[in-house]
């Protein structure tokens, strides 16, 4: 079974980037930062490209396979790099995601697990919603026996500004099925990822 995701936000289109660059220049000017010098002439363009990159997941196709071997233990991909943008300040929050599941009838290609994290991360987010959306994707697409997602991240809005709690790490989790309800499965998953 192959599921494609055409719902990618096209921010880097020929129309979108120039408009974003003009807006970035106005935004910086309003903050008293002039780009009218050789060093910064291209900076609004770079800023537009940087935000487009942070807010645009790469398109991909997900392939799932029948679980022919009847594999019924945990599959965990640990320490997936995760970059997202907080919806309050539009500043990055970055860290790692751990994703595990116990399959039923279908399994998914391992690289796709990291792509699923990117799909939901590259948009304005809160960490709790991101964590749940990744877990929900597995429930909806694979109907596994259990799913576990743990994300640990540093929020720039909390470390570079505001409270300036440098080094503070936020951990969130979304567990379901046997990974949530059966103590041994829950403990095994958490012992692998935490």
Which letter, b or e, does each residue of 21-48 get, where b requires 16 or more Cβ atoms within 10 Å of its Cβ? beebbeebeeeeeebeeeeeeebbbebb
Least separation in angstroms between CB 108 and ligand GTP: 26
The Cα–Cα gap between 133 and 130 comes to 5
Is residue 162 a contact point for ligand GTP (CB under 6 A)?
yes
Least separation in angstroms between CB 1 and ligand GTP: 32
* Near Zn ion by CB under 5 A: residue from 40, 49, 51, 89: 89
Positions in 110-139 near ligand GTP (CB under 6 A): 126-128
86 beta partners:
125
CA distances from 121 to 45, 114, 138 (A): 23, 10, 15
* CB-CB contact of 17 with 45 (8 Å): yes
Is residue 88 a contact point for ligand GTP (CB under 6 A)?
yes
Q: Which two tokens stand for residue 160?
A: 């570079």
Binding mask 130-169 for Zn ion (x = CB under 5 A): ---------------------------x------------
Provide the binding-site residues for ligand GTP, judged by CB under 6 A.
86, 88, 126-128, 155, 157-158, 162-163
Q: Which residues are catalytic?
A: 86-89, 127, 155, 157
């Amino acid at each position: 079974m192959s599921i494609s995701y055409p719902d990618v936000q096209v921010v880097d289109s020929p129309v979108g980037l120039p408009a974003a660059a003009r807006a970035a220049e106005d935004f910086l000017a309003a903050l008293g930062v002039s780009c009218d010098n050789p060093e910064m002439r291209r900076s609004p363009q770079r800023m537009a490209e940087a935000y487009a990159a942070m807010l645009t997941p790469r398109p991909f196709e997900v392939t799932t396979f029948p679980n022919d071997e009847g594999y019924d233990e945990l599959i965990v991909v640990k320490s997936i790099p995760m970059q997202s943008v907080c919806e309050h300040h539009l500043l990055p929050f970055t860290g790692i995601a751990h994703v595990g599941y116990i399959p039923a009838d279908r399994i998914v290609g391992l690289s796709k697990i990291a792509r699923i994290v990117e799909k939901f991360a590259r948009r304005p987010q809160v960490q709790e919603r991101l964590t749940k959306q990744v877990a929900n994707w597995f429930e909806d697409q694979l109907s596994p026996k259990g799913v576990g997602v743990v994300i640990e991240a540093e929020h720039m809005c909390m470390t570079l500004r505001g409270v300036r709690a440098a080094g503070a790490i936020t951990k969130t989790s979304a567990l379901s099925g046997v990974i949530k309800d059966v103590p041994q499965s829950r403990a095994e998953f958490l012992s692998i990822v935490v």
